[in-house]
Structure 1
Amino acid sequence: MSLLDAARDVRENAYAPYSKFKVGAAVRGASGTIYRGVNVENVAYPEGTCAEAGAIAAMVAAGETELVEVAVIADSPAPVPPCGGCRQKLAEFGRADVPVTLATTAGARLDTTIGDLLPGRFDASHMDNV
């Protein structure tokens, strides 16, 4: 199964009763294992969780801390990019050259990288004097 197929399949499990905007994400860990996540809304809107964060959490819960590929899909007019917080989360676990596929359920696709999504990223090297 492709990473985009994994994101497409899991998207149906998203919990989005308020916005009706379901998002599916999948990351491939360095081991090759695919981890999936969906957005999970909450009536107290700021308390929701993004699909990318869910996929990363599943990867970390399984004992992996490096991702090598990302896919995100939503039913939107154009491929939807990760929010700023998720861009930073992706950068925490993936190198700048990690491929990211953004897609729509209608088939539009944008291929990019973590580095292109988050130029000038804050990373562990900024903490070297701490």
Structure 2
Amino acid sequence: MAPLSEAGIQELRAKTLEARKLSYSPYSKFKVSAVLLTDDGQYIEGANIENASYGACICAEQTAIVKAVTTGHKNFVAIGISSSAGTVTPPCGICRQVIREFAPQIDVYMFTEKEDYLMQPLTALLPHSFGPEDLLDLPAK
């Protein structure tokens, strides 16, 4: 996939920062958002949703992916991620795997509140990954 233009990066950044308002994080106060850009130009927002039972928390990236897939979107150009930490926040390991399921070649843009950002292809964040193709050709038993 080709990297986004500077204008595309700034639009994804703005939508990602805005989506942090959707976070439900009363326990950690750590607000995270993720915005997927689909191949048809739509932006799909997600935010972290906490739960008093911490194991039931849902990450922003997972929220965005589930929302996208359940509304018929499976082709993505980029994903933007932002947190209230003030620094670049990469996706956690589980989120990397969830993103990988649907977008193994996606570019991941990690934004700060300032103009700073880091872009890494998912292949750099999750090298030698395991995906659907590793299961499709298994012999029948």
Same fold (TM over 0.5): yes
TM-score norm. by structure 2 comes to 0.85
For 1:112, the aligned partner's letter is: Q
For 1:121, the aligned partner's letter is: S
Deviations 1:60-81 (A, max 9, x none): 1210112220100012242011
Ranges in structure 1 where 5+ consecutive residues have no aligned partner: none
- SS in structure 2 at match of 1:24: strand
After TM superposition, the runs of 4+ consecutive aligned structure 1 residues lying more than 2 A away are none
Q: Distance in 2 between matches of 1:18 and 1:105?
A: 22
Percent of pairs with identical residues: 33
Asked if 1 retains the 8 angstrom alpha-carbon contact of 2:86 and 2:113, the reply is: no
Asked if 2 retains the 8 angstrom alpha-carbon contact of 1:99 and 1:113, the reply is: yes
Please name the residue that 2:101 is paired with. Answer: 92
Q: Distance in 2 between matches of 1:113 and 1:43?
A: 33
1:38 aligns with 2:39: no
1:1-130 correspondence runs (5 A): 2-96=11-105, 98-127=106-135, 128-130=137-139
For 1:99, the aligned partner's letter is: D
Asked if 1 retains the 8 angstrom alpha-carbon contact of 2:87 and 2:112, the reply is: yes
Asked if 2 retains the 8 angstrom alpha-carbon contact of 1:76 and 1:105, the reply is: no
Ranges in structure 2 where 5+ consecutive residues have no aligned partner: 1-9
- When Rg is computed on C-alpha atoms for both structures, the one with the higher figure is 2
Aligned Cα root-mean-square deviation (Å):
1.4
Q: Distance in 2 between matches of 1:99 and 1:62?
A: 21
Asked if 2 retains the 8 angstrom alpha-carbon contact of 1:95 and 1:115, the reply is: yes
Asked if 2 retains the 8 angstrom alpha-carbon contact of 1:15 and 1:40, the reply is: yes
TM-score norm. by structure 1 comes to 0.92
> Larger deviation: 101-110 or 43-52?
101-110
